[in-house]
């Protein structure tokens, strides 16, 4: 059983968020929380918030068994581009430069760790 959390229209560029989420892909939830909490990048705060939401969604979905965060793993995490706000910056000689303020959608999927049997 898996649980997912999605945050849409986050106000940083997708490229900056991908740097952060590549650090936590495939790690246990406890380790991922530590990495994100002590990461100096601004995008780590949004990613930590979404990860906490995914863990909470998993615990609410499976309320009978009471799974701890040590048993959960970040199975899948990805970033898709969102809408871009178009802005104009005045330039020399009557020109205008276009500025794109990008956004993204962040999705994190957590799942129970499966033990390998021999």
pLDDT tens for each residue of 80-116: 999 999 999 999 999 999 999 999 999 999 999 886 6
- Rounded-to-integer distance, Cα 34 and Cα 44, Å: 11
More confident site: 66 or 57: 57
**What phi and psi values does residue 37 have, to the nearest 5 degrees?**
-65, -35
pLDDT at position 32 is 95
List domains and CATH numbers for the chain.
2-112 (3.90.470.10)
Is-contact 104 80, C-beta < 8 A? yes
- Tens digit of pLDDT for each residue in 25-54? 999 999 999 999 999 999 999 999 999 999
Q: Are 83 and 103 a contacting pair, CB within 8 Å?
A: yes
- What's the pTM value of the predicted model, to 2 decimals? 0.87
Indicate whether 117 pLDDT > 60: no
Pick from 58, 67, 72: nearest CA to 30: 72
Phi-psi region of 9 (alpha: psi -120 to 50; beta: other; left: phi over 0): left
What is the model's pLDDT at position 91?
96
């Amino acid at each position: 059983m898996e649980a997912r959390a999605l945050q849409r229209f986050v106000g940083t560029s997708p490229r900056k968020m991908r740097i952060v989420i590549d650090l936590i892909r495939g790690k246990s939830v406890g380790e991922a929380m530590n990495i994100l909490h002590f990461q100096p990048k601004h995008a780590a705060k949004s990613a930590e918030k979404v990860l906490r939401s995914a863990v909470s969604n998993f615990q609410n979905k499976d309320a009978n068994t009471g799974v701890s965060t040590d048993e959960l793993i970040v199975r899948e995490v990805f970033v898709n581009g969102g809408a871009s706000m178009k802005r104009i910056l005045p330039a020399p000689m009557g020109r205008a430069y276009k500025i794109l303020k990008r956004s993204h959608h962040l999705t994190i999927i957590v799942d129970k760790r499966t033990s390998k049997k021999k």
